[in-house]
Structure 1
Amino acid sequence: MHVLVVGDFLKSSGMTRYIFNVVGGIEEKNLKIDVLAVAGSKECQDEANERQWGFSVIPAANGSLFKHIVRSYQYFKKNASDFDVIHFNETALWNFLPIVFAYHFGKKRIVLNSHNTYFASNGNKVVLKILELMHEIGKRIISPLVTKKIAVSAEAAKWMFTPAVIKKNKYKVIPNGIVLKKFTFDDSKRQIMRQKLGIEANSRLYGNVGVFNKRKNQLRLLSMFEKILIEDPSAKLLLIGDGPQRAEIIKKMKSLGIDRSIILISFTDHVADYYQAMDAVIMPSINEGLSTVLLEAQTSGLLFFASSQMSLGDYIKELVYPLSLDASDRSWAKNITQHINNMNPRRSYLKDMRLLGYDVKTTSEEIYHIYLEAL
């Protein structure tokens, strides 16, 4: 079976981590994978090549939409018929033409995978209204062309698929899967990482992992952390990532006078090691499909303070605390410090997460069966 996987293929992207984890976890020898990077970047080409995956790239739609559409048309006209299944990983359907091209020139076996509950990129109100209209049009045009519809959460399905599909339950939720053992808690590694970061034994280390953009809401997180420092002056914040708001984040850190309490690290392949050093993750995202960071942090036994606007899936109640973005920064700070001061001794939650269905082996098998059902 020859499958084309379409996605953004950016190192800081949760979607990309999903593809490498879940599709990369399929152990069937008769499966050949090619990927199409639609964000205009070759930064994941080496990892794809290491897996012996074919790698192609086209310009990003948010760079030059015309070039993106032309190159999409050219790519699918030349290559679509080579693939038994084409697996689109999407956050929205305003840009639906590539799926139309894949269907028209290919074997009519399309898998559509929803990864979010709103648009992944920023825009003003007028632009977002236009995108919402195009997304609704795209949903209706694409729906009859798609062989199998899947989503990382029920909320992501509702965003991506038509009301008729949702009402008739003609989709399947397959949550993100991770390599659980990679994130299990290790106290000796925790001590090594905290020493490396210069964190005192009695200091609390909060973390946030993700693209620095409006949707991930790190600018709001800085305001929350300023209030946490009032409650806990020795606290530190570790921000791991990169993105369009990096300069704004640095500027705000300095303007609030909290930059000496913040550690900024570019996105790394060793996030699991940094989880060991943390005591909690704070994620006030405006929207998420099903955050990979949420799964990784729980496995590592971290408290997780999440925006209640995020899709949380099945989660461990003693670790995850949804909080409203309508609440004040001070309210978030008091909730966070109260829970962290009363937390249980840290342990690994690998077995708990496996029971909830987040083992990559399980999700990889489910994706492979979707491919078989699409044939």
Structure 2
Amino acid sequence: MKILEVCTVDFSLTGIPVHIRNYYNELKKNNKIDIVAKSFDKKILRTMPLENETVLYELPRTKNPILYISKLRKIVAKNNYDVVHIHGNSSTMALELLACRSSSALTIVHTHNTEYKAKVLNVLLKPYLMHHADLYFAASSEAGKKLYNRKKFVVIKNGIDVSNFKFNLEERLYIRKKLNITDDKIILGHVGTFNEQKNQDFLLKLSKKLNPKKYHFVLIGDGEREKFISKIANKEMFTVLKTTDEIGKFYSSFDMFLFPSNWEGLGMAAVEAQYATLQTLVSDRIPKTVKISNNIKFLPLEVNRWVKEIENYSKEDLLKSRKNNFISAEYDIKNCAKKLMNLYIKEYNAKNQKSI
């Protein structure tokens, strides 16, 4: 099939682009897949070698929406795609649907979050969005209900290559040595863009109540990273790093994973952490479908509750739990990609039969 993946955010090592990347790596061999995004980061491109004549189209989206729609329309018309799969967080995906107005492609909108920045535009564009897509996808039931209300939608799992997250003792020791963190310290890990949604400020509150001789925080992400660093009172207790295309190695170095988000469409980092067999503490504001193992606990954003839970585990307990933990295969990208491809084919054929 000829497929166009439209990413409405910068294509970097964050939620939506990583989702597209994971499916691309599985489907690229047997399909012609192009990608549209605001910009492309080299880090993520290193993790997805392009095949089958993939073309990357860099289109600024917000400065001049009319020009954006015009350019996207030309791309869609020129390439005669079978499927146009639009990924975003709100009804502003109507812009992409406008660009596909004259196309015969199967058009899909796919929401990945439960909160939107463009609240006014979301309301204004929602009527168009709700009547002009062929299929409606969501990262979770919560994300789908928030954007689509009662309209029928399909939950598409944020599949990952689970082999990248297997616990590796050599990588654990290598990373800890590289970061100059002794093995007697309990590393409290976190992965996510530094912003209000991911709520890293909550981790600062935790650090003030935890023993600095016993615990060390390692946070990985882009966004408002420098702003966060400026707020750290005890610098010796934190290591703050940019996003990396070798994130699996860092999961091996962690002892626990903390994810105190204020909201999430799903919370993919928490899924990755469970595949890495980490004890995972998450905010109770995260969809419960993120639970794929017994190594996860949902807690209200109360500092004392989190501190008590963290202190419940000894170093030995945390290492032991990594060896014996059943994890569901529902997010394995190989299974997820097959299901998505079957859905593409089924719905594409159904649309074509209607038009005959």
- Per-residue deviation at 1:178? 0.8
Which runs of structure 2 are paired with 1:62-81 in the superposition (5 Å)? 64=63, 67-80=64-77
- Per-residue deviation at 1:71? 2.0
Query: Counterpart of 1:239 in structure 2: which amino acid?
Result: L
- 2:327 is the alignment partner of 1:352: yes
Gaps of 5+ in 1: 122-130
Structure 1 match to 2:340: 367
Residues matched between the structures, number: 343
Q: Is residue 300–residue 349 contact of structure 1 (8 Å, CA) maintained in 2?
A: no
The 3 A distance-change label for structure 1 pair 78 and 268 is closer
- Per-residue deviation at 1:96? 2.2
- 2:221 is the alignment partner of 1:241: yes
- 2:336 is the alignment partner of 1:336: no
- Per-residue deviation at 1:133? 4.2
The 3 A distance-change label for structure 1 pair 200 and 240 is same
Deviations 1:37-81 (A, max 9, x none): 0x34454566666334210011142xx2xx133222222145346
Query: Counterpart of 2:16 in structure 1: which amino acid?
Result: M
The higher relative CO (CA closer than 8 Å, separation ≥ 6) is in 1
- Per-residue deviation at 1:195? 2.0
Q: Equivalents in 1 of 2:314, 2:77: separation in Å? A: 52
Q: Equivalents in 2 of 1:36, 1:350: separation in Å? A: 39
Q: Is residue 299–residue 305 contact of structure 2 (8 Å, CA) maintained in 1?
A: no
- Per-residue deviation at 1:265? 1.3
Q: Is residue 183–residue 300 contact of structure 1 (8 Å, CA) maintained in 2?
A: yes
Deviations 1:159-217 (A, max 9, x none): 22132x1xxxx221121111111111122332222222222222100111111112111
Deviations 1:314-333 (A, max 9, x none): 514531111112x2x23322
Structure 1 match to 2:353: none
- 2:136 is the alignment partner of 1:149: yes
Q: Is residue 258–residue 281 contact of structure 2 (8 Å, CA) maintained in 1?
A: yes
Q: Equivalents in 2 of 1:89, 1:309: separation in Å? A: 22
Structure 2 match to 1:101: 99
Q: How much is the aligned-residue C-alpha RMSD, in angstroms?
A: 2.3
Q: Paired residue for 1:252, among 209, 221, 231?
A: 231
Q: Equivalents in 2 of 1:199, 1:136: separation in Å? A: 49
The 3 A distance-change label for structure 1 pair 86 and 350 is farther
Q: Is residue 11–residue 40 contact of structure 2 (8 Å, CA) maintained in 1?
A: yes
Structure 2 match to 1:176: 158
Task: Give the secondary structure class of the aligned counterpart of 1:111.
Answer: strand
Query: Counterpart of 2:153 in structure 1: which amino acid?
Result: Y
Identical columns (%): 24
- Per-residue deviation at 1:247? 2.2
Query: Counterpart of 1:332 in structure 2: which amino acid?
Result: W
The 3 A distance-change label for structure 1 pair 210 and 162 is same
Q: Equivalents in 2 of 1:267, 1:276: separation in Å? A: 16
Structure 2 match to 1:53: 54
Q: Equivalents in 2 of 1:203, 1:138: separation in Å? A: 51
- 2:191 is the alignment partner of 1:193: no
- Per-residue deviation at 1:90? 1.1
Structure 2 match to 1:139: 126
Q: Equivalents in 1 of 2:338, 2:319: separation in Å? A: 34
Q: TM-score, normalization: structure 2?
A: 0.88
Q: Equivalents in 2 of 1:68, 1:45: separation in Å? A: 26
Query: Counterpart of 1:250 in structure 2: which amino acid?
Result: I
Gaps of 5+ in 2: 349-356
Structure 2 match to 1:307: 283
- Per-residue deviation at 1:91? 1.1
Query: Counterpart of 1:199 in structure 2: which amino acid?
Result: I
- 2:148 is the alignment partner of 1:161: yes
Q: TM-score, normalization: structure 1?
A: 0.84
